[in-house]
Each structure stands twice: as C-alpha cells, then as structure tokens.
Amino acid sequence: MLKPYPERLRDGVLVFDGAMATYLFSKGVYLKKCFEEVCLTNPQMVLDVHREYISRGAQAIETNTYGANPIKLKGFGLADKTEQINRAAVRLAREAAGDTVYVAGSAGPTGRLLAPEGPLSEEEARSSFEAHLGALVRSGVDLLLLETFSSRRELALAVEVARRLAPEVPLQAQFTFSRTFLPGPEAYKAEAQAWAAFFETLDVDAVGMNLMGPTEALEVLAVLKKTVTKPIAVMPDSGFPKEIDGRQFYLTSPEYFAEFAKLYVDGGALVVGGDCGTTPEHTEKMAQAVLSFDAGRRAVRWTPVTSAVEKPVVPLAERSKLGQALATGRWVNLVELVSPLGVELSGLLEKARALQAGGVEFVNFPDGPRASARLSALVAAIEVARATGMESVLHMACRDKNLIGLQGDLFGYHAAGLRNVLLVTGDPPKVGKYPNVTGVFDTDAVGLTRIVRRFNAGVDMGGDELPAVTSFVHGTGVNPAFPVPEKELERAKLKAEAGTEYFITQPVWDVDQLERFLDELQKLGKPVILGVWPLASYRNAVFLASEVPGVVIPPAILTRMERHTDKDAARSDGIAISREIIQRLRHRVQGIQVSPPFGNVRTALEVVKGW
C-alpha cells in the first residue's frame, strides 16, 4: 500500500521515470504523430515502456498525457477524445505500477500564449485544464504533475483549476526555462529567483524543474534551495547531442547522468527523474546511485560517546616523504597507476620501475576507479614499495565499505607502513559495469577526514583512546570544473575544517576557470596538487568529457584535438596541452598528479620532464 505522496517524500529520495516520447520515437512512432494517441492505437507499446522504467528502478511513473489537453489534441483532430485518451493512459500506467509505484498524471501547458501576448484567454485556458486535469483525477492518479511550464501566470491557472477540482490530490508543479533566451548569467539567476519566490506562493505539495540540461538544473537547484521550503524535484533532459565521426552522441551518458543525480540529492532535491533524451538505462543508473547514496547519507550520523584527550600529532614533515615535501614547499610529481584486473603484478611493477628511473618519487593508486573491481590498491602499493621503495598515495573511497571496514583498512594501511591517503566519497556503483552492486556511503570524504584526523591524535571515531597515534598524511579531492563552483568551494572549506592536509584537483583544461577557483581555494591555506590528464586523441577527449564524472573539457580543446588525424601527433599535442597548463600554473600549486591515458608511463614521463 502506497503512502500518500507528500508523506512518502518525508522518507527520503524518490525516483521518477524518464522520457516517454523519446522512447516511443525510438520504437517507431513518427515525430508528427500524436504521442498521447498511442495509448489508444498501440496500448501495449505504452505499457511496455512503463514496465521497462519500473523494472529499472522507477518508483513513480508519469502517464503518457503531457499534451493530452483539448487545445493540443485539436491540432491532431482529437479534441473530442480528451477524456478517452487520458483515461486510457492512466489505466495503462496503473496496470504497470500496481500498488507499489506512484502514478503521476502528467499535464503540460496548453501550448498557446495567454492574452495579451497571445490569442488564448484565461477562460479558454481554464476550460482546457478542467478537461485535462479532470480526466486524470477521475481516472484515479496518485498525484497531478504540472510540468514544463515557462509562464508563471499559466501555471498559476493550472494550480487553481487542480485545487478546485481535486483539493485532496497531491500536486507537484514544475517549470522550465533556457539561458539561451536570457541576456546573461545575472538575468538567468534572477529568473530562477523569481520562480523560487513564485513557488512559495503556490498551494502545491512539491515544486521543481524539468526540460533543462543537467548542469543548468544543478545551478537552478542551488538558487531554489535558498528560498523554497517545499520538496524540490529535478528532472533534467540528457543535454544536447554532439556529432562525432558522423554520429550523434549525447555527452550526458547514463553513467554521467547518475553522477549528476547524486549531486541533485546532495544539493537538497527529494525527487529526481529524467526528461527528453533519457531512457530506462538512465533511470536504472540514476536509481542505484541516488538511493544508495541517500540511504547512506541519512543512515549514519556518528557522535563520540566518550571523550579521550587527544595526543600531540606527529609533525607533517616526519610522517612520510610526501609529508616532508608538503611541509617544506618542495615540488611534488605524482603519477597515477591503476591496479591490474586479475592478479598479475609484473606489468604494474615494470611501470613503477620506469617511473622511478625517470625521476618520479610518488605513485597514486585509485580505489576501484569508475566503480570497477581491480586488485586491491593496498596490495599494489605494498608490492611497489617492496620492489622500488617508492611511496604511494592510496585512495580510500566511502562507497564499498561501512565505517567498521573503513577503520579496519586504515589500521591495516598503517601497519603495512603506508602513510599517504587521499580520502574520497567515491563514484556511485552504477558508474561502473556491475549492474546490481550497491554503494554503502556510511560517510563521505568530510566525515572520513574527521576520522583520520582523530586517528592521528590517538582517538578513534567512538572517542576511545588508541594505543598509539597514527601518522597519516591525508588529503582530499576538489573539482574546479564543478558546475556550481561556489558549492564545491563550500565542500572544500568543510574538508579543510575537518582537517585535510592537501588538495588534489580533478584534471582541468580551462585554465582561466582553474585560476578563478584557485583564488578562493588557496584562502584555505592548504597545499594544492594539480591534476593533469594528457589527452591521447580526440576520441579520448570526447570519452573523458562524456563518461568520466567531474571532467569538463572546453570546446576549444576538443577542436584542437579534433584536427589531428595522426595518432602520434594527437598524443604529442595532448602532452603539449598539459605542459602549457602546468607552465601557466606552476607558481600557484605545489605539484602535479599525472593520470596517463591507458596507463602509458612514457606519456607521464614526458609530462613531468623538467618540473
């Protein structure tokens, strides 16, 4: 038995389905056809779409009725079938949903401008909404979803009609607008603020946005959250396609879409879903990412129950060679090595020896990069140290283990002589290739930093005294290309307050953007290591931009890489781009971390040469 929709939102994040029209088009319905009429002409197709979304994790589905109002249907000669189409659509959605998934009656704007800007009178608009919303209510939807409204006046009319017809039916109101039609960023922000103020005046149960790009939606969410007290829904489209080798690619892949969804939840959204261009695969990856993240975010809020006195911390310069470099301001060259798939270590050790011979002092091991299963980074670091004497920086992600497991691993690292760690929240499992894996996320990078800082002071997370202090050199990551840099800087400040001792940036190709970010980040007084990723080719650049969470590559760099037809020339230019970035920023950072594509250590050595 479903809880009333407003009550359910108090329990945590709810996942909606994705696009209906996009999916029907992919199944052969022509663009000039009335997509809502398919509920009558091919009901099985609509039913199959609903079932597919539910099977992929949707907890609420929208009826195929977005344009099923008499004004829009009149254009197809179907105005007299308004009631019939809406009833059929609700029946199909209910058949798919059963009693475990919410059915939202979808209703969009009339499609015509209200007078005096357009020909439609308020009475005509009310009449259209009465026919449309009335049919949905009579058919038994769990809530009404007013979506894709760009006119506050028209949305207010729709809300008025909905409340008059069915005051007991939950109501969610969503808007859209595009920065394309606004004169600049300040106008864009002002429009979002106007919608936020407007939403506070509406008699609705939830508000939100749809039909805008993932990045735009994140920016708008940050504005809404400052004013809106109602639950907020975010249902972006999949972004604009880009032509590559004669084919159209949506750069917001399902994996990347899932990462954005997690950002929406972290930013305060209680409802997430998809719009145009999204598919059941987007829904699946989004659902597993946000539900595991939200559950972990809400599940553990630890407070020490005892209060052992903290002991003096080992000076940073005495903890490790990396600690000494950071403490004295010495330049750091770090190269990322990825643990192998399987158990064969010879290739990894060969790469480590080559890096050492080339003057690289430190290597960096990600923890299950892009949510993949690889040889334990701990074992890899131990074997590299045994073979070469090189120090490693081990990533520790909050994704795969609960707080007990994380603490146990930290003690294990220390006992094995490993001192350098990079504490990260971790990619959601659905960014990887294991479809049914869930994330733990008992804590995040900020919480884990607090734990490690206390370990270094001889106190565990429960407040009990440890037999001895640890001597970790612990840092965290930052993403200067984050769509809302103010929010990333807020997170960085929290990490600094929790005790982080250095930052490593995500790879960044927009130097002006990075300099603006560094202006604020360096106010926190922590050493910054610049993340560098030399591009191997145009395809490699497109892959990074579309598939790797947190990576943004400016169009100018993509264009520069696109001009190369020769593989070696492309690789050389990718190295040149990296060195140009380092040259410009070398006096603002304390080192670099190079992530060579495909593990090519020769590329890494060419990047670090001379620094």
Per-residue pLDDT of 485-540, as tens digits, reads: 888 999 999 999 999 999 999 998 999 999 999 999 999 999 999 999 999 999 99
Does one domain contain both 75 and 171?
yes
340-349, 372-381, 438-447, 574-583 — most confident range: 574-583
Q: Is residue 237 part of a domain?
A: yes
d(CA 480, CA 350): 33
Does one domain contain both 278 and 321?
no
CATH code of the domain covering residue 208: 3.20.20.330
Total count of domains within the chain: 2
Please report the pLDDT score of residue 547 as a whole number: 66
User: Of all helices (H) and strands (E), which one includes residue 120?
Assistant: none
What tokens appear for 305 in the block? 């129950």
Does one domain contain both 224 and 326?
no
Q: Which residue has the higher pLDDT, 247 or 65?
A: 65
Domain-ending residue, one of 251, 267, 298 = 298
Please report the pLDDT score of residue 242 as a whole number: 47
Coil, helix or strand at residue 32: coil
Q: DSSP letters along 80-94, please? A: GGHHHHHHHHHHHHH
Q: How does residue 200 score in pLDDT terms, banded at 50, 70 and 90? A: very high
Q: Is residue 311 part of a domain?
A: no
Domain-ending residue, one of 256, 271, 298 = 298
CATH code of the domain covering residue 480: 3.20.20.220
Does one domain contain both 171 and 30?
yes
Does one domain contain both 258 and 380?
no
User: What is the span of the domain harbouring residue 558?
Assistant: 317-608
Does one domain contain both 582 and 494?
yes
Average pLDDT over residues 319-345: 95
Q: Is residue 306 part of a domain?
A: no
Does one domain contain both 364 and 239?
no
Considering only 189-203, 225-239, 416-430, which range has the smallest mean pLDDT?
A: 416-430
Does one domain contain both 234 and 381?
no
Does one domain contain both 253 and 109?
yes
Considering only 22-36, 178-192, 198-212, which range has the smallest mean pLDDT?
A: 178-192
Q: Is residue 326 part of a domain?
A: yes
Q: Is residue 199 part of a domain?
A: yes
d(CA 362, CA 326): 13
What tokens appear for 413 in the block? 């690292």
- DSSP bridge pairs for 465: 459
Q: Are 393 and 367 in contact (CB under 8 A)?
A: no
- Stated pTM of the model: 0.69
Q: Which residue has the higher pLDDT, 227 or 301?
A: 227
Please report the pLDDT score of residue 548 as a whole number: 67
Question: Residue 371 pLDDT > 80, yes or no?
Answer: no
Q: Are 21 and 49 in contact (CB under 8 A)?
A: no
d(CA 295, CA 399): 12
Q: What distances in angstroms separate CA 2 from CA 7, 96, 144, 149, 407, one per listed residue? A: 10, 15, 16, 28, 39
d(CA 174, CA 224): 12
Q: Is residue 312 part of a domain?
A: no
Does one domain contain both 349 and 498?
yes
- DSSP bridge pairs for 593: 334, 531
d(CA 259, CA 506): 15
Q: How does residue 402 score in pLDDT terms, banded at 50, 70 and 90? A: confident
Q: Which residue has the higher pLDDT, 432 or 123?
A: 123
Does one domain contain both 362 and 260?
no
Q: Is residue 547 part of a domain?
A: yes
Q: Which residue has the higher pLDDT, 253 or 453?
A: 453
User: What count of other Cβ atoms lies within 10 Å of the Cβ of residue 252?
Assistant: 24
Q: What is the dihedral of CA 294, 295, 297, 298, to 10 degrees?
A: 110
Q: How many residues does the chain have?
A: 611
Identify the DSSP state of 64.
S
Q: Is residue 125 part of a domain?
A: yes
**Phi, psi angle pair for 74, to nearest 5°:** -60, -35
Q: How does residue 74 score in pLDDT terms, banded at 50, 70 and 90? A: very high
Does one domain contain both 181 and 235?
yes
